[in-house]
Structure 1
Amino acid sequence: MSHTAHIPSHRKPRQRASKSALRAGVAGGVLSTIAVAGAAGPAQAEPVTQTIEMPTITSGFSTAVAASAQATQQVALDLETQADEDAAAEKAAKTAKKAHAEAVRKAEAEKKAEAAAKARAEAEAKERAERASRTSERTTLSASSGSSDSGSSASAPSSSSSNVSGSAASIVAFAKAQVGDAYSLGSTGPNSWDCSSLVQAAYRTVGIDLPRVSQSQSTFGTQVSLDNLQPGDILYWGSAGSAYHVAVYVGGGEFVGAQNSSTGTVQRSLDYDRPTGAVRVL
């Protein structure tokens, strides 16, 4: 017999069968509970089964939205078409209005052109008649100027208010014969003059060659008072040496001058446009 036979063992005693059974029962209960809970799950998820039919509702809604979008697009297209038609109509109206205005303008322009042509024709006819009259008068004056240079006296034209003789008569007669001629700056006749060219041409009939411009003519000769004028004197406007206009004194308180483009060559009273001074060349 061993000496250690009666020494108690330090190993843990084996669990009894009852405890093992108890533990097995507890574990089984837990598993059963889980199984029951798992079995009960589908019954609680029945409401989810109803939501599976949502695709049918969504499909109908999508169709309605698509139809509404198409209708909206159609309305937009209709509005755009209407806007284009309105713009085209407005453009056509403006074009028609512009064409009408242009037609009216052309008609007025043609009417004015016809009136201007008629006026020119009448003016040309009148000018031809006046030119013929002046040519006849100049022929008579040329014949009388020879006798004037030889010392014989010549009476002034009937339109003169005083008798003029000698070279002065020729100057006055020539100046009066140009009344009615046109005025044009730089012109020297025979049917269009400026102020100084008319005076120069009048003095040239008696062999006196005056300077061409007003400034020089206003100092060519002896300065005389406006109260002591004689036919044939040169009248000037402005200062002597810087005059801006000249004319021929024809007697009777009147002068002849190429005034401006509006009046042409005219015979006027000194009171019509009072000169500044005068010079005597003869």
Structure 2
Amino acid sequence: MSLTAHIPSHRKPRQSASKTALRAGVAGGVLSTIAVAGAAGPAQAEPVTQTIEMPTITSGLSTTVAASAQATQQVALDLETQANEDAAAESAAKKAKKAKAEAVRKAEAEKKAEAAAKKKAEAAERASRTSVRTTLSASSGGSGSSASSYSASYSSSNATGSAAAVVAFAKAQVGDAYVPGGTGPNSWDCSGLVQAAFRTVGVDLPRVSQAQSTFGTQVSLNNLQPGDILYWGSAGSAYHVAVYIGGGQFVGAQNSNTGTVQRSLDYDRPTGAVRVL
């Protein structure tokens, strides 16, 4: 047997001519490309610019943004309006509080002034009456018998006719309030009551006590009759009047403390009297 016979070969099989030629062509092309690139030099490649068209979304977005802006503006306006209203309310409340305090202060001042004036008037009235009483006491000589006859004469008559009507009206007003300038029907001052009483019988007296104290005939306090007009102070300048009702009593609108009362002449003796009826 030959030494070389049937010994398998370990060499790779030979490639076919077609594959060899293909590989050669590819390699040649690559080398040619490299060569061309090398020959072209270091020139930089042109940047590639490409415009990408994005989808349009501004239509819906603009509506949403506009609505949001309008809502924000409305909220701002509402807040501003509320702030203005709150400021106005606070200012009005402060003004009202100040006005109330001022009204209370004025009312208190007026009340004090009224009380002071009333006190002063009452003091003046008391002083005048005291002076009148002193004068009457001096003129009577302080005689007890004179005082007794003075009181006895007051109860010597009974009211009749028109005088009775005047007396009845005056007595019917007892308990009514005293109000300066009052002419009824439920509040009086002294001359307003006397005038209204005589008006019931068709006699139109002057309005004020000074004129009433000279209307009619002057009569002595020792000879009084029901329906006579009593006055305090001098005739023509009297500061108070009342109606004598008989029995040593009179009815008069005295002052704001007592109102219209029925009193004995000894309670507050008059200066004089006039007879109208």
Using the size of structure 2 for normalisation, the TM-score is 0.44
Which structure has more relative contact order (CA 8 Å, sep 6+)? It is: 2
Using the size of structure 1 for normalisation, the TM-score is 0.43
